[in-house]
Chain A
Amino acid sequence: MELNVLWFILITVLFTGFFFLEGFDYGVGMLMPFLGKNDIERRMIINTIGPVWDGNEVWMITAGGALFAAFPSVYATLFSGFYLALFIMLVGLIVRGVSFEFRSKDDHPMWRSTWDWMIFIGSMLPALLWGVAVTNLLQGVPINAKMHYIGTFFDLLSPYTVLGGVAFLTLFIFHGALFLSLKIEKGPLVERARNAALRFGVLAAVSCIALVVMTYSHTDLFKSAGAGIALWGAIAAFVISYLFTVRRRFGWAFVMSGLTVALTTIAFFWGLFPRFIVSSLNPEWSLTIYNASSTPYTLKIMTFAALTLVPVVLAYQIWTYWTFRKRVTARDLEY
């Protein structure tokens, strides 16, 4: 296989891993202040992702690094073009990251509630903005012949892309609620998580179906049969997940919500292929896996590194989940 194609697939894998893992982290973060009725419950909720959220976030860091290494012009155009959106996302990621560490280290109620809301905001902003970003890549943004983004921040916000943000947001909340119902001590909290999943599931269903419709009318995703099938597969997985949630089969429900996230990501990247960022000014000016890539030499080295290292990373991350496989109880709040 051509290395440029392989790297498009690897980037897709990294983003899929990132959205699958951080998807439930963001969801848990957003639900925490609402589902946790007291400090103990909030700490339990945070501790369901406590040992793993940082490792999950590295999937995003790696996706960014891999983009830089394999497709430097995509990295350059995307990050400078989506400047203020990324700034807002960074603000979210900064406050979220420290809040997990800071919130339980002082017992003043004001202190804790401040950081709890920071976790909420810091989980919401990236969830929303990644949805906006991904839909923009496919819908097309004003990129000129020199690969420069020549729009403004507000050009990134259109009905379709805002819908993309809302769809990601609600899907992640649904995904996170199911993760919680699997990972937290059985009892009222699990019930509350399930209710949240059922309620936000409806919102996610509405926004995802609207997204599919608008994707059909606003983009060329469905011209690619594979992308279309993946997107319909995502909808099917979502419906199955919802039905499992109704029947309290949380394990299967979570697998299916994860599949929904994964298939959605795959569908969007498949729809983009072989482009990375569509130019709305001229299709010729789109950034592709050919005009934006590194040299074959660099791609070869990175291929060797990625194909040996990613399986190792997966192995020890899975082992981590295995180590913390038990449900979090009120007795597990040492940290």
Chain B
Amino acid sequence: MDEILLARLQFGVTSVYHFLFIPLTLGLSVLIAIMETIYVRTGNEMYKNMAKFWGKLFLVNFSMGVVTGIVQEFHFGMNWSEYSRFMGDIFGAPLALEALTAFFLESTFLGLWIFGWEKLSKKMHAATIWIVALAGNLSAFWILVANSFMQMPTGYVLQNGRAEMVDFVALLTNPYVAVQFPHTVAAGLVTGGVFVMAISAYHLLKNSSSSLFKTSFKIGVTCALISAFVVGGTGHMQAQFLAKAQPMKLASVEALWKTADPAPFSIYAAIDEKNGVNTTEVQVPGALSMMVYNKFAGEIKGIHDLQAEYSQKYGPGDYIPPVTTLFWSFRIMAGAGGWLIAIAALGALLAYTGILERQRRLVLYAALFTLPVPYIANSFGWIVAEMGRQPWIVFGLLKVEQAVSPTVPASSIMISLIGFTVIYAVLIVAAVYLMHKFAIESPVDTDVSSQDRPVKEATLWN
């Protein structure tokens, strides 16, 4: 195998692996902060136990995110040295700012949160987890600023054989950030919400009277449902934006080979990438135009026309990303998103109304088995975003093949690829083992309020 393929494989493996943990860090930190805030405001010990229960799971997950994040930072220089040279003037700044503004806060205050239960005042302690949650999401902002430049360069000039920054504000206000950042943060909240919902459902199936998990379930579904709508909404905005910013990505995601007006949406397509046609298609006429232009008309450019256009603009070459992978990745992501909205809605109906009381166990089982779904959606979402940029590493400026480290031999990349993969595999077994153990453990469950006064939700569940 050649260096480029190995380097790409390594980047893909590490990024997807890293992003298995990050969304939960982003979302669950917020939920724990909310739980602890309720504890501080009401003095109800149950919320403290709740924060501690989810906190244990959070920490196992967090440490996995941290250690894979170090690899992410080193990777650019190790495997993509020419990318780093070409982009350092622009890409380095958000990374350094991510460390300065976010990582320091996140790691320092998480240490305070873990070890500070007895050493800090209640309010101060709750503040530390809020800082962790905000810092985590702030770090997502910075890395998405960096990534957005790769998708849609702004605020730069090409000079001295590299991209040089001329407008830092343009970097921050890149419209790509505006659609990608809320989408990612909301996806994190969905992941956190579903995680809490699913594990609470497990406990409620075993012991239906646990008020800790009833309340957790409610918090989880509420967060998951609201955020899933935000994910869908911002995803829709992203698609509309792609039509202007990265039409090739949109056309490839839809396997739309020929320019069409109105453009149909394919539910299924048998794609022949070699000949650039779909042999079979199941389509909803005009639906793609509707999604992009909010009406059943409007031209969407096809892959062939874009290929011709790019060849003229950037010189001869193959500008078509892997269409089949993109087509199906997008459908898996969107399908998973639909499933999440449906299950979160059912969960919310159960938690807030009496409607699904009779189907209670069925809904709880569905909630439990939804646990992997946000992970699937997150991973395939990034596959769409990154593979849709191929063959570019920085859209329109630098191709992947120009970015790889010229002096690192394939054997070195192979060694590190195998090494990392083995370590990742071993560690995920250990992490899942621990998380499973803590997830099924019964927490200290003392609801002070339920002893003193009747619980409001009591009728819904008993």
Q: Measuring CB to CB, which residues of chain A are less than 8 angstroms from any residue of chain B?
A: 47, 50-55, 57-58, 61-62, 64-73, 75-81, 83-84, 86-87, 90-91, 93-95, 97-98, 100-102, 105-106, 147-150, 153, 294-295, 297-298, 301-302, 305-306, 309-310, 313, 316-317, 320, 323-324, 334-335
Q: What are some 21 contacts across the A-B interface (CB < 8 A)?
A: A50-B114, A52-B108, A53-B111, A54-B108, A54-B110, A55-B104, A57-B70, A64-B74, A71-B88, A73-B85, A76-B84, A87-B419, A94-B71, A97-B63, A98-B430, A100-B63, A297-B164, A309-B101, A320-B108, A324-B119, A335-B115
Query: Which residue on chain A has the smallest CB distance to residue B68?
Result: A94
Given A65-B92, A94-B70, A323-B120, residue A58 in contact with residue B415 (CB < 8 A): no
User: In the complex, A99 Cα to B104 Cα: how many Å?
Assistant: 20
Chain B: interface residue total (CB-CB under 8 A)? 72
Residue pair B405, A80 in contact (C-beta under 8 Å): yes
Query: Which residue on chain B has the smallest CB distance to residue A301?
Result: B168
Chain A nearest CB: distance from B69 CB in Å? 8
Contact of A105 among B78, B93, B118, B434 (CB under 8 A): B434
Q: What DSSP secondary structure best describes chain B's contact surface?
A: helix
Residue pair B107, A150 in contact (C-beta under 8 Å): no
Q: What DSSP secondary structure best describes chain A's contact surface?
A: helix
Per-residue contact bits, chain B 386-426, to A (CB 8 Å; 1 contact, 0 not): 00000000000000000001111000100110011001000
Q: Which residues of chain A come closer than 8 Å to B79, judged between CB atoms?
A: 80
Residue pair A83, B427 in contact (C-beta under 8 Å): no
- B313 CB-CB contact with A under 8 Å: no
Chain B nearest CB: distance from A332 CB in Å? 8
- B9 CB-CB contact with A under 8 Å: no
User: In the complex, A302 Cα to B89 Cα: how many Å?
Assistant: 11
Q: Which residues of chain B come closer than 8 Å to A55, judged between CB atoms?
A: 104, 107-108, 111
Q: Which residues of chain B come closer than 8 Å to A86, judged between CB atoms?
A: 74, 78
User: In the complex, A335 Cα to B110 Cα: how many Å?
Assistant: 13
- B117 CB-CB contact with A under 8 Å: yes
User: In the complex, A141 Cα to B79 Cα: how many Å?
Assistant: 19
Query: Which residue on chain B has the smallest CB distance to residue A150?
Result: B407
Residue pair A84, B415 in contact (C-beta under 8 Å): yes
The A-contacting residues of B in range 53-94, CB under 8 angstroms, are 56, 59-60, 62-64, 66-71, 73-74, 76-79, 81-82, 84-85, 87-93
Given A68-B88, A93-B70, A102-B60, residue A79 in contact with residue B427 (CB < 8 A): no
Residue pair B111, A90 in contact (C-beta under 8 Å): no
Residue pair B68, A76 in contact (C-beta under 8 Å): no
Residue pair B96, A58 in contact (C-beta under 8 Å): no
The A-contacting residues of B in range 262-280, CB under 8 angstroms, are none
Contact of B427 among A78, A94, A302, A306 (CB under 8 A): A94
Residue pair B88, A294 in contact (C-beta under 8 Å): yes
Residue pair A72, B88 in contact (C-beta under 8 Å): yes
Chain A nearest CB: distance from B100 CB in Å? 5
- B98 CB-CB contact with A under 8 Å: yes
Residue pair A75, B423 in contact (C-beta under 8 Å): no
Residue pair A69, B95 in contact (C-beta under 8 Å): yes
Given A86-B74, A148-B406, residue A58 in contact with residue B89 (CB < 8 A): no
Q: Which residues of chain B come closer than 8 Å to A313, judged between CB atoms?
A: 100, 104, 108
Q: Which residues of chain B come closer than 8 Å to A81, judged between CB atoms?
A: 407
The A-contacting residues of B in range 220-247, CB under 8 angstroms, are none
Q: Which residues of chain B come closer than 8 Å to A102, judged between CB atoms?
A: 60, 63, 430-431, 434
Contact of A75 among B92, B114, B118 (CB under 8 A): B92
- B291 CB-CB contact with A under 8 Å: no
Chain B nearest CB: distance from A325 CB in Å? 10
User: In the complex, A55 Cα to B115 Cα: how many Å?
Assistant: 14
Residue pair B108, A297 in contact (C-beta under 8 Å): no
Chain B nearest CB: distance from A29 CB in Å? 14
Contact of B434 among A78, A79, A106 (CB under 8 A): A106
- B460 CB-CB contact with A under 8 Å: no
